[in-house]
Amino acid sequence: MVIHLSELLTEERLQEVDKWCAKYPEQERQSAVMQSLMIVQQQHGYLTQERMDSVADYLNMPAIAVYEVATFYSMYEHEPCGQYKLEVCTNISCKLRGSAEVVKHLEESLDISVGQTTDDGQFTLRKVECLGACVNAPMMQVGNKYHERLTAEKLDEIITQYKNKDNT
């Protein structure tokens, strides 16, 4: 049994989904799938099969089509992750400019490996493909913010900055 999206989302969040749906003709409401998934993820932190099924039902589309979108794009989470996702670009430009050292430094300073989350739930470390900032490699994205021309010192400052956000 599929849970109705109104049972998964606050009224405000459901209205956001409806605003996205309204941008498309009724027979094309599935075009709002990416934003709908993002809204569900923002409220719950990650997507489960049940949550994706609710989106599929609400948008009147096959569940498999929603799964395809949710698993293709790296912005969708399928398990709990840290409050801050450290996504280090490891594509060629960043690789040539030291992204492996960036990853190693973060693993050592946070005491986690790529794909893991710190014990306090603050940071999840990931490798990602090109983030489009090759000129300022190596770089990483934290949330919607780019951090470029990374060095060990800059990484330590960034980690401290995010840790301090929670203590203020």
In angstroms, the CA 51 to CA 30 distance is 15
Q: What is the pLDDT of residues 8-32, one digit of tens each?
A: 999 999 999 999 999 999 999 999 9
Sign of CA dihedral 113, 119, 39, 1: positive
Give the range among 1-5, 35-39, 56-60, 150-154 with minimum mean pLDDT: 1-5
What confidence score (pLDDT) does residue 49 get?
97
In angstroms, the CA 49 to CA 58 distance is 14
The most confident of 55-59, 83-87, 128-132, by mean pLDDT: 55-59
**From the CA atom positions of the chain, what is the Rg in Å?**
18
Phi and psi angles of residue 94, each rounded to the nearest 5 degrees, phi first: -70, -40
Q: For residue 124, which amino acid is it?
A: T
Task: Give CA torsion, residues 140, 142, 144, 148, to 10 deg.
Answer: -30
Contacts with 1 (C-beta within 8 Å, 6 or more apart), sequence order: none
pTM above 0.85, yes or no: no
Segment 118-134 mean pLDDT: 92
- Give yes or no for a cis peptide into 138 (omega within 30° of 0): yes
**Domains of the chain with bracketed CATH:** 5-72 (1.10.10), 84-165 (3.40.30.10)
